[in-house]
Amino acid sequence: MIDRIDKAMLALQSAAVGRRLYGLDHPLPARQTDLAADTLRRAATESARDLRVVRLEDSLLFDDADLPSCPVLREVFIPRLAAHGVEWLEFRAGLARAELVALMDQLERSPADAGRFGSPNVRVGRIGRADVGETPEGDVDFDTQNQVAQLKQMWGGMHDGGRPDRRLGDLVESIRLAVAVGADVCNRLAEVKSHDEYTFVHTVNVGILSAALGEAVGMSPNQVFDLILAALLHDVGKQRTPLTILNKPGRLDDAERRQMELHPVSGAAMLFERPGVPDVAPIVAFEHHANVDGTGYPRLPRAGRPHLASQIVHVADVFDALRTNRPYRAAMDDARVRQILTDGAGKLFEPALVDLFLRHVMTHPGSDGRRRSA
């Protein structure tokens, strides 16, 4: 697949150069534009997914690998993307030739005159943002306040029996890309301002942290995508838990605790065989409070061990809960959180995951290459 994407990017550069040398109507740029459109359309159709190319400084990446022709693409195409602040391009199966022509028109203008980029089947943006210029209605911005509001709407749709909203996939991909290229995501985790917002802010944070740990484990981009989606849905069963219990400013009594502990079962039931939900999502919803030593809830079969994705989300879930102010206690500092995670290794968590989390997630590389504390 990467060779086909590489071929299409080279064709786009050739078309851009040909337009400049010979004019818009010359056969050479026309042929190269047709080649790029046909290659991208076929690749998107056959792979049954949107194709996203990421610009990281002076390289273009597809599925987190440099395109083979990056040295050639640095001559024209990559500098034009950089001049306009474009950090990713996404191509969809319905791509039309005219959409690529419009893209090249925009890239040839000065940044001040380019206007809004993108079209229905060619999306253009910055890492963590929906697109360059004005954010169109329905797209997801990598902004926690917007993420929380949209996650609420998506959860509501899931509760009513619907399939996941397309915006959920956009949010997942924004998180995956930001983590994959080393953006300073952990320092952007939201501070909870309202107790009523806690579940949703916490869920977005757990998605970000899970993505970073999944990357550290060595998961493929597709596995990380499914992991983030599962993390964003792991607490969906809490829709059936009263807010008086979720936000109680004190310890739960036995009846309240039993009701709270039903949310993994409720969440798994809501997600099971739901169209558009990966197989791992109901597993994570069911197991994210199960410990590796067999304790936790709900109890797994004897000798059962939680799925790797469940274990990753469990670590991320506990970490974010500990570092957040709650009605019944203040947020803990990093030293105390580290100690709790370390003490839980081999009991609550897989020791290797705790080690990876402490080394690669709590000190996730920032965009300037330095390592910063979460």
At residue 302, the pLDDT reads: 66
pTM: 0.63
CA distance 272 to 139: 27
Q: Are 54 and 87 in contact (CB under 8 A)?
A: yes
pLDDT band at 165 (very low <50, low <70, confident <90, very high): low
Four-way CATH pick for 144-361: 1.10.3210.10, 3.40.630.30, 1.20.1090.10, 3.40.50.150: 1.10.3210.10
* pLDDT at position 365 over 50: no
For residue 56, report the phi and psi dihedrals to the nearest 5 degrees.
-120, 100
Report angle CA 41, 47, 51 to the nearest 5 degrees. 60
Q: How many CB atoms lie within 10 A of CB 141?
A: 18
Measure the CA–CA gap between 224 and 178, rounded to whole angstroms: 12
User: What average pLDDT does range 154-171 have in this prediction?
Assistant: 66
Cis peptide bond upstream of 298, omega within 30: yes
- d(CA 217, CA 58) in angstroms, rounded, equals 27
**Which of 109-113, 132-136, 267-271 ranks highest by mean pLDDT?**
267-271
Domain map (residue ranges) of the chain: 2-125, 144-361
Judged against a pLDDT cut of 80, whether residue 48 lies above it is answered with yes
